[in-house]
Amino acid sequence: MAEESVLYALADGVARIMLNRPERLNSFNPGMHLALRAALERASREARAVLLTGAGRGFCAGQDLNDRSVAADEAPPDIGASIDLYYKPLILQIKRLPMPVVCAVNGVAAGAGASIALACDMVLAAKSAAFIQAFSRIGLIPDSGGTWFLPRLIGDARAMALALTGDKLPAETAAEWGLIWKCVADDELPAQAEALARQFAAGPTRAYARIKESIQLAATNTLAAQLDVERDFMAELGRSKDYREGVAAFMEKRAANFTGE
């Protein structure tokens, strides 16, 4: 398994996905793109929660620049084509997963690696971790949704500063700014991320899917349109087995046994 660029394990309803090119800080090449998308597709069929993290000392350094030649005597790479082929489908796949996606950022998340983390539903980061919008340092702009996520999460001023300077943002500051959910001690990250993923795997899966969808729709909906979304989803979920179980558990003062139905 050590030679695989993405590791996958399923237990207790949680699909644990690990980026596994630690010698390259888990930076992306075409093979890792395909492996990660295959793992996410598998998770969509058999899991109730996803836990994404990285092997070694970093979460993900973004694109492996060894795969993008910039030698003066060679034709320049078509980075736009790379985004269309790899990064855009990956980000949309993460956002569309019908279950919570927890990201445990165990080290640096740079470039597209930062954007991939921000595409997840809840991000926990080790205290030693950092987020870097490194694109401007090589003459590019944030991609993989970076220009979309950053201003929505932390506002235009901070987003602009991070994108223009390429400065490192420590995990503690990222949590203070609301870029991520929580910063935790390095040795506590695996256990806390695992506990959160297990909590989601035991929860009302259909409700989680609709929560994700409704919050994403709110980014472009009017209030009236969003009230209609809430009405429609509430009507659907009110007929679910999990709603019936949740109410029964509340009335009987016991823990609910959700099945995701």
Quick one: average pLDDT of 58-62? Answer: 97
Answer with the one of 167, 183, 201 that is the final residue of a domain: 201
- Tell me whether residue 135 is in a domain: yes
Count: domains in the chain: 2
Q: What is the CATH number of the domain that holds 232?
A: 1.10.12
Q: What is the pLDDT of residues 205-254, one digit of tens each?
A: 999 999 999 999 999 999 999 999 999 999 999 999 999 999 999 999 99
Query: Which of 112, 118, 106, 132 lies closest to 18, judged by CA?
Result: 106
In the chain, what is the greatest distance between 2 CA atoms, to the nearest angstrom?
A: 74
Answer with the one of 166, 183, 201 that is the final residue of a domain: 201
Q: What is the pLDDT of residues 86-142, one digit of tens each?
A: 999 999 999 999 999 999 999 999 999 999 999 999 999 999 999 999 999 999 999
Let me know whether 155 and 193 are in one domain: yes
Alpha helices in the chain (DSSP H): 30-46, 79-82, 88-96, 112-119, 146-154, 156-165, 171-177, 189-201, 205-218, 223-237, 241-251
Supply the range of the domain harboring residue 50.
6-201
Q: What percent of the chain is modeled with pLDDT above 70?
A: 97
Q: Are strands 122-126 and 182-184 parallel, antiparallel or unpaired?
A: parallel
- Tell me whether residue 257 is in a domain: no
Quick one: average pLDDT of 1-22? Answer: 91
Q: What is the CATH number of the domain that holds 146?
A: 3.90.226.10
